[in-house]
């Protein structure tokens, strides 16, 4: 039978990529002297697994490459070899190379052979440089040499030792196998079997005198005995032409159709995988702790119980059972909410997945720029939604690169400024009030507000005379017009500017704040909602329509007074709230709602919202309740509508639209 191995490929690649991560972290720790024996072992094991798996599944080139890494790591683990900083660098580069090979193979692309060769040679050099130079051979030991001259037959004496059985070996199996090679005849020798009183059934006292005729090579016979050499006495001598007839032994003569496979077999042919449609970055599977699944199962169980209880109540309902019904409904509410929370929990993944790439990145980049930088990470266990994790990676990378490139000064400059030569970058993640906050802090030279302000004027983003708050000045950094292509250095490059960072964060429903002290350092603080699919909303009515405004955007609500209304040139209607003039957004007009009840401001309500650091007043008819809503897509079946970020289904089954505050603001400009 031939089994299609491809079904195991995906798991193999997934676990191999994880293995590469383990290797990388381990090597980094090795470099900084923080690795213990167990860590060294796990680096070796990871390489060993990848080598074994890739060979089994037919990726011979990966197997060969990993083999040489494994050989090197084996020496390190055995204490024969100590790795230098250079050696670790080479191994780290090899890990990169292996990643490249795996990505290419799993996606059906081309492997960069030049890179493979370079790394292979570098590894080979290390191995050759000192004593323990294993010859990395990807081929199996050729234990079977096929060129034995087969005589007419063999005389075999097979005498298992007393403890033969305790190795789980079965002499009958051996005989059966021999029988499959040719014509087997023989006799069992029971002379050594003790008397019944002394007889221990766990011991082996039998031996066999056998004759095997046919075109059988010695090595084939050796193979049969390969496993049991140490626990038996075997003699194999070629037969002369005259065979002795003997009683057929009690051995079965079932034919074993294949040659024994205990020794090496030819490696499976390397099969090129077909080009798969692989989704980039986002993998379609997720690892979930068994405990989370167990919780879920329990909760569903409770829910089912409650549901059947209610169902029963409903079958034969009368008013005397009203209280029970109410109790049941309360329970249902509770169980449903718990279930909902649990399910959302499943998508929660610790941020360590995203953070894990940074030690390597900081190390490589600071070496390249000749800066001395230490990375400290906190809160790696902080969990966030899987989709958020996938999308927050790139922005974080860019911000960290920015800190390394523009934040931390050159060592000389730091010393001259009275700072420690080693700069520190901190990554910190924690939960705060229904959000997750990620902070990137550096003790570098900080942001010079004046320079930013000047540059903003130069780029025409700011009026020379305007007064900007600190936050507004820092926000200029994130303005698309701020940095030119020339300034996106190779280091922070890839065409990802700060504006894209901000856009990505905002598309996740989050926000970014900057704090800085010139000469001391900078903090970038990113706030993200814990989950994407659920929203805390304020329900409002405009005419006959209900809309939901995300609570996270709402500052406060006021009952407007007519006299506070102003028309300001260039800004339209504004409302004076304390010291601020808030531009007013009339939903009724923007959405052309025909039957809005409130026309005059004082007949309705003003919901003060904030977006992009600016505040606006959204004019609605009435405030309804606050509730948690599940965000449903409007685009799945329809299309994106300006001013609307999605829809939700209310308790009564009707649809309510969720307002997109930034979009509304843009619409009203």
Partner 1 sequence: MTAETHTEGTDELLDVDADLGDEYLTFSLAHEEYGVDILRVREIRGWEAVTRVPNSPDYVKGVLNLRGAIVPVIDLRVRFNLPVEEYTSLTVVIVLAVEDKDDGREKTISVVVDEISDVVKAKLSDIQTTPKFGSALDTEYISGIADAGGKMLMLLDIDTMLRVSEMNQH
Partner 2 sequence: MALILTVDDSASMRQMVSFTLKGAGYDVVEAEDGQKALDASKTRKFDLVVTDVNMPVMDGITFIKHLRTEANYKFTPILMLTTESSSDKKAEGKAAGATGWIVKPFNPDQLLAVVKKVLG
Q: Which of 452, 643, 645, 660 binds partner 1 (CB under 8 A)?
A: 643
Q: Does 17 bind partner 2 (CB under 8 A)?
A: no
Close Cβ partners of 122 (under 8 Å, ≥ 6 residues apart): 90, 93, 94
Q: Does 37 bind partner 2 (CB under 8 A)?
A: no
Q: Does 63 bind partner 2 (CB under 8 A)?
A: yes
User: Of the two residues 139 and 432, which places its CB atom closer to partner 2 in the complex?
Assistant: 139
Q: Residue 496 Cβ, how far from partner 2 at the closest point, in Å?
A: 34
The item of partner 2, partner 1, none sharing an interface with residue 295, based on CB under 5 to 8 Å by kind, is none
Instruction: Return the range that interacts with partner 2 (CB under 8 A); candidates 44-52, 299-307, 331-339, 634-642.
Output: 44-52
Q: In whole angstroms, how far apart are CA 23 and each of 16, 90, 137?
A: 10, 13, 22
Torsion of CA 341, 342, 348, 350, to 10 degrees: 110
| Residue count of the chain | 669
Residues 593-612 that bind partner 1 (CB under 8 A): 593
Q: In whole angstroms, how far apart are CA 560 and each of 142, 348, 589?
A: 90, 42, 18
DSSP class per residue in 249-267? PS---PPP-S---SS--PP
| SS3 track for 478-532 | CCCCCCCHHHCCCCCCCCCCHHHHHHHHHHCCCEEEEEEECCCEEEEEEEEECCC
Count of positions on this chain that bind partner 1 (CB under 8 A): 24
Q: Does 407 bind partner 1 (CB under 8 A)?
A: no
Q: Which of 150, 159, 256, 410 binds partner 2 (CB under 8 A)?
A: 256
Q: Does 134 bind partner 2 (CB under 8 A)?
A: yes
Q: What is the Cα 217 distance to its own chain's centre?
A: 52
Q: Does 296 bind partner 1 (CB under 8 A)?
A: no
Instruction: Return the range that interacts with partner 2 (CB under 8 A); candidates 170-178, 235-243, 349-357, 477-485.
Output: 170-178
CA distance 500 to 478: 8
Instruction: Return the range that interacts with partner 2 (CB under 8 A); candidates 42-50, 431-439, 565-573, 641-649.
Output: 42-50
The item of partner 2, partner 1, none sharing an interface with residue 639, based on CB under 5 to 8 Å by kind, is partner 1
CA distance 188 to 191: 9
Q: Does 626 bind partner 2 (CB under 8 A)?
A: no
CA distance 396 to 437: 12
Helix (H, G, I), strand (E, B) or coil at 581: strand
Q: Does 143 bind partner 1 (CB under 8 A)?
A: no
According to DSSP, the residues that pair with 522 across neighbouring strands are 442, 516
Q: Does 654 bind partner 1 (CB under 8 A)?
A: yes
Active site residues: 48, 70, 402
Q: Does 279 bind partner 1 (CB under 8 A)?
A: no
Alpha helices in 79-212 (DSSP H): 85-107, 113-129, 171-181
User: Of the two residues 225 and 474, which places its CB atom closer to partner 2 in the complex?
Assistant: 225
The item of partner 2, partner 1, none sharing an interface with residue 527, based on CB under 5 to 8 Å by kind, is none
Helix (H, G, I), strand (E, B) or coil at 326: helix
Is the distance from CB of 53 to CB of 72 less than 8 angstroms? Answer: no
How much of the chain is in helix, strand and coil states, percent to nearest 5?
A: 45, 20, 35
Q: Which of 151, 182, 267, 572 binds partner 2 (CB under 8 A)?
A: 267
Task: Sheet with 521-529: list strands edge to edge.
Answer: 373-378, 423-432, 435-442, 521-529, 511-517
User: Of the two residues 231 and 413, which places its CB atom closer to partner 2 in the complex?
Assistant: 231
Nearest to 51 by CA among 29, 73, 32: 73
User: Of the two residues 228 and 659, which places its CB atom closer to partner 2 in the complex?
Assistant: 228
Binding flags for partner 2, 217-236, as an x/- string (CB under 8 A): ---------xxx-xx-----
User: Of the two residues 254 and 640, which places its CB atom closer to partner 1 in the complex?
Assistant: 640
Instruction: Return the range that interacts with partner 2 (CB under 8 A); candidates 52-60, 375-383, 443-451, 477-485.
Output: 52-60
CA distance 494 to 668: 34
User: Of the two residues 393 and 543, which places its CB atom closer to partner 1 in the complex?
Assistant: 543
User: Of the two residues 146 and 323, which places its CB atom closer to partner 2 in the complex?
Assistant: 146
Burial 583-599 (b: 16+ CB within 10 A, else e): bbbbbbebbebeebebe
Q: What is the Cα 431 distance to its own chain's centre?
A: 21
Q: Which of 656, 660, 661, 665 binds partner 1 (CB under 8 A)?
A: 656
Q: Does 620 bind partner 1 (CB under 8 A)?
A: no
Close Cβ partners of 456 (under 8 Å, ≥ 6 residues apart): 462, 473, 476, 479, 482
Close Cβ partners of 476 (under 8 Å, ≥ 6 residues apart): 452, 453, 455, 456, 461, 462, 482
Q: Residue 284 Cβ, how far from partner 2 at the closest point, in Å?
A: 16
Nearest to 71 by CA among 135, 150, 116: 135
Binding flags for partner 2, 493-532, as an x/- string (CB under 8 A): ----------------------------------------
The item of partner 1, partner 2, none sharing an interface with residue 653, based on CB under 5 to 8 Å by kind, is partner 1
Q: Does 132 bind partner 2 (CB under 8 A)?
A: no
Q: Does 661 bind partner 1 (CB under 8 A)?
A: no
* Burial class of residue 395 (count of CB atoms within 10 Å of its CB; 0-12, 13-18, 19+): buried
CA distance 626 to 194: 89
Instruction: Return the range that interacts with partner 1 (CB under 8 A); candidates 86-94, 375-383, 604-612, 627-635.
Output: 627-635
The pair phi, psi for residue 147, each rounded to 5°, is -100, 25
Q: Which of 85, 258, 562, 592 binds partner 2 (CB under 8 A)?
A: 258
CB atoms within 10 A of CB 388: 23
Q: Residue 119 Cβ, how far from partner 2 at the closest point, in Å?
A: 21
Q: Does 140 bind partner 2 (CB under 8 A)?
A: yes
User: Of the two residues 463 and 544, which places its CB atom closer to partner 1 in the complex?
Assistant: 544
Q: Does 141 bind partner 2 (CB under 8 A)?
A: yes
Q: Which of 263, 342, 424, 557 binds partner 2 (CB under 8 A)?
A: 263
Count of positions on this chain that bind partner 2 (CB under 8 A): 52
Pairing of strands 423-432, 373-378: parallel
Helix (H, G, I), strand (E, B) or coil at 7: helix
Q: Does 532 bind partner 1 (CB under 8 A)?
A: no
Q: Which of 7, 200, 320, 484 binds partner 2 (CB under 8 A)?
A: 7
**Run of H or E residues at 392:** helix 386-402
User: Of the two residues 333 and 589, which places its CB atom closer to partner 1 in the complex?
Assistant: 589
Locus of tokens 């280091």: 491
CA distance 666 to 652: 32
What tokens does 492 get?
């922070």
Q: Residue 17 Cβ, how far from partner 2 at the closest point, in Å?
A: 12
Residues 543-582 that bind partner 1 (CB under 8 A): 544-545
Is the distance from CB of 478 to CB of 505 less than 8 angstroms? Answer: no
Q: Which of 86, 137, 655, 666 binds partner 1 (CB under 8 A)?
A: 655
Q: Does 482 bind partner 2 (CB under 8 A)?
A: no
Q: Where on the chain is the footprint of partner 2 (CB under 8 A)?
A: 1-3, 5, 7-9, 11-12, 15, 41-42, 44-45, 48-49, 51-53, 55-57, 63, 134, 137, 140-141, 165-170, 173, 176-177, 202, 226-228, 230-231, 256, 258, 260-265, 267-268
Binding site for partner 1 (CB under 8 A): 544-545, 590-593, 632-634, 636-639, 641-644, 647, 649, 653-657
């Amino acid at each position: 039978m031939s089994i299609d191995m491809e079904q195991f490929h995906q798991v193999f690649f997934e676990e191999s990529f994880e293995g590469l991560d383990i290797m990388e972290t381990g090597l980094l720790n090795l470099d900084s002297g923080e690795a213990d024996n167990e860590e060294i072992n796990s680096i070796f094991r990871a390489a060993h697994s990848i080598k074994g798996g890739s060979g089994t599944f037919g990726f011979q080139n990966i197997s060969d490459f990993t083999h040489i890494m494994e050989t090197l790591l084996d020496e390190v683990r055995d204490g024969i070899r100590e790795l230098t900083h250079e050696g670790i660098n080479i191994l780290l580069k090899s890990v990169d190379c292996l990643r490249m090979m795996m990505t290419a193979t799993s996606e059906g692309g081309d492997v960069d052979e030049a890179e493979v060769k370079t790394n292979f040679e570098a590894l080979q050099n290390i191995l050759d440089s000192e004593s323990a130079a294993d010859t990395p051979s990807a081929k199996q030991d050729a234990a079977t040499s096929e060129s034995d001259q087969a005589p007419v037959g063999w005389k075999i004496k097979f005498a298992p030792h007393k403890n033969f059985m305790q190795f789980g070996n079965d002499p009958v199996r051996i005989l059966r196998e021999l029988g499959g090679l040719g014509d087997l005849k023989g006799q069992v020798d029971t002379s050594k079997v003790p008397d019944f009183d002394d007889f221990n059934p766990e011991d082996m006292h039998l031996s066999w005198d056998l004759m095997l005729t046919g075109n059988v090579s010695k090595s084939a016979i050796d193979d049969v005995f390969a496993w049991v050499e140490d626990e038996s006495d075997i003699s194999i001598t070629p037969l002369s032409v005259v065979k002795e007839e003997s009683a057929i032994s009690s051995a079965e003569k079932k034919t074993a159709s294949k040659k024994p496979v205990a020794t090496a077999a030819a490696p499976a042919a390397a099969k090129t995988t077909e080009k798969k449609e692989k989704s980039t970055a986002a993998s379609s599977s997720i690892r979930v702790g068994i405990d989370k699944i167990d919780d879920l199962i329990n909760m569903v169980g409770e829910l089912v119980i409650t549901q059947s209880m209610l169902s029963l109540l409903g079958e034969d309902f009368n008013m005397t059972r009203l209280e029970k019904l109410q109790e049941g409904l309360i329970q249902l509410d509770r169980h449903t909410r718990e279930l909902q929370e649990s399910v959302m929990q499943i998508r929660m993944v610790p941020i360590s997945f995203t953070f894990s790439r940074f030690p390597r990145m900081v190390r490589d980049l600071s070496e390249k720029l000749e800066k001395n930088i230490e990375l400290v990470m906190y809160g790696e266990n902080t969990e966030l939604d899987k989709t958020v994790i996938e999308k927050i990676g790139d922005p974080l990378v860019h911000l960290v690169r920015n800190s390394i490139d523009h934040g931390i000064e050159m060592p000389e400059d730091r010393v001259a400024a009275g700072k420690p030569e080693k700069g520190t970058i901190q990554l910190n993640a924690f939960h705060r009030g229904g959000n997750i906050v990620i902070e990137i802090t550096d003790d570098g030279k900080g942001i010079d507000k004046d320079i930013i302000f000047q540059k903003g004027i130069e780029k025409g983003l700011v009026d020379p005379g305007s007064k900007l708050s600190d936050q507004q000045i820092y926000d200029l950094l994130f303005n698309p017009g701020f940095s030119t292509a020339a300034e996106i250095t190779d280091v922070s490059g890839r065409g990802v500017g700060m504006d894209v960072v901000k856009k990505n964060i905002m598309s996740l429903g989050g926000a970014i704040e900057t704090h800085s002290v010139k000469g001391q350092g900078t903090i970038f603080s990113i706030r993200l909602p814990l989950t994407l699919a659920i929203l805390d909303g304020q329900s409002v009515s405009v005419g006959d329509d209900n809309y939901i405004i995300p609570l996270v955007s709402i500052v406060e609500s006021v009952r407007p007074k007519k006299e506070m209304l102003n028309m300001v040139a260039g800004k339209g209607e504004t409302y004076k709230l304390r010291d601020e003039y808030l531009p007013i957004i009339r939903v009724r007009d923007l959405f052309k709602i025909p039957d809005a009840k409130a026309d005059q401001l004082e007949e309705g309500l003003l919901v003060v919202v904030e977006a992009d650091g600016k505040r606006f007043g959204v004019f609605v008819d009435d405030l309804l309740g606050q509730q948690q809503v599940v965000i449903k897509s409007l685009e799945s079946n329809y299309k994106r509508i300006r001013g609307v970020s999605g829809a939700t289904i209310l308790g009564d089954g009707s649809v309510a639209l969720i307002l997109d505050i930034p979009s509304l603001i843009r619409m009203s400009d």
